[in-house]
Amino acid sequence: MIEDNTGALKIAVMKDGLAKHASAHTLQHSFATHLLEKGYGIRTIQELLGHRNLQTTMIYTHVASKNILGVRSPLDR
């Protein structure tokens, strides 16, 4: 089944003419990053990704960590 999904994704990328490489891993990484940026907790993301080890989830979310300094509390408004 994973092979079928990967093949379907590759076909979709080629049809859409996307310049960047896209894979199931890319989608999972993007999903985790977007969840973190929206304020979801790392444990929630871990569960959604199906990771047993939190360190694995942390790998997927490292990019969003760089933007953490720009995060403001709604109470700061």
**pLDDT given at position 46:** 93
The residue segments making up the domain with residue 55 are: 21-70
**In-domain check, residue 58:** yes
pLDDT at residue 34, rounded to an integer: 86
CB-facing half-sphere around the CA of 65: CA atoms within 13 A: 7
Q: Per the domain annotation, does 13 fall within a domain?
A: no
Q: Is residue 60 situated within a structural domain?
A: yes
Distance CA 22, CA 12 (A): 10
pLDDT at residue 1 is higher than 50: no
What share of the chain in percent tops pLDDT 90?
16
Enumerate residues 6+ apart whose C-beta is below 8 A from 49: 28, 31, 32, 56, 57, 60
Q: Confirm whether 76 is domain-assigned.
A: no
Number of domains in the chain: 1
Q: Mean pLDDT throughout 16-24?
A: 68
Domain-located, residue 4: no
- Residue 53 located in a structural domain: yes
